[in-house]
Amino acid sequence: MARLEAALRARRDAGGRAFVPYVTGGYPGVDAGLLRRLEAAGADAIEVGIPFSDPVMDGGVIQEASAAALQSGARLTDVLATIQEAATQVPVAVMTYVNPVYRHGIGSFLDDAAASGVAGVIVPDLPVDESAELAAAAAERGVDAVLLAAPGTTTERLAEIGRRSRGFVYCVATYGVTGARERLDDTAKGVVEALRGTTDLPLLVGVGIGTPSQAAEVCAFADGVVIGSAFMARIVASDPDGAVDLARSFRVAIPA
């Protein structure tokens, strides 16, 4: 079992719920020190985005952060170097899109990721039907290829996602792109419930969770949460300390 899945299973099996903060790699201030501070704030794993010019899953805050990172000259290899420098004890997963992976070459991308200490890879625009090549190459290198399960997906397709995903299943809480919402949609619970019984993987919910109280609400039925825009909004506002303080608040609200 690879590091990412092992860490998330350990949290779940101990009766707790996982907390996974997301930050956009390459954005000014998203450095090795920040990753270590998120770990110290109680993260079970950390998700680091590799900036891309067409981040179709991401809302305004992360789009802005990705654009700024690219404008500052950040590249895929720079993000991996930051992860390697951080050398966190908790696993790090990278989130990117198909284009950068294919441009780099699947094997070369995963070689570089694994050498940098990456434990998981999330490619939201790679459908389950086309994931076999990346998943196999990732498994060969001890990297978990995490698949997404979205609202409106058929029961049969959700079962296939559950069978093929590794590390955890990323359950998308709502229709639309990332970004904090004032209230949670019922769709998140539906996705998680539909996956139960099809997979023993941890089921983590992301997209649209903006407050610690919302995270606690989700953790009543899911195995953990992925939180991104809430942190990046503070980092974009030049308040990394506020982002770390918020991470601590999420950890307190989420059952440990």
Q: Is 160 a catalytic residue?
A: no
Q: Is 140 a catalytic residue?
A: no
Euclidean distance between CA atoms 180 and 122, whole angstroms: 20
Euclidean distance between CA atoms 208 and 188, whole angstroms: 10
What is the enclosing helix (H) or strand (E) of 32? helix 32-40
Euclidean distance between CA atoms 241 and 34, whole angstroms: 9
71's tokens: 């404008």
Euclidean distance between CA atoms 91 and 118, whole angstroms: 7
Of residues 58, 144, 160, 223, which has the active-site annotation? 58
What is the helix, strand, coil percentage profile of the chain, to 5? 45, 15, 40
Of residues 47, 144, 160, 223, which has the active-site annotation? 47
The catalytic site residues sit at: 47, 58
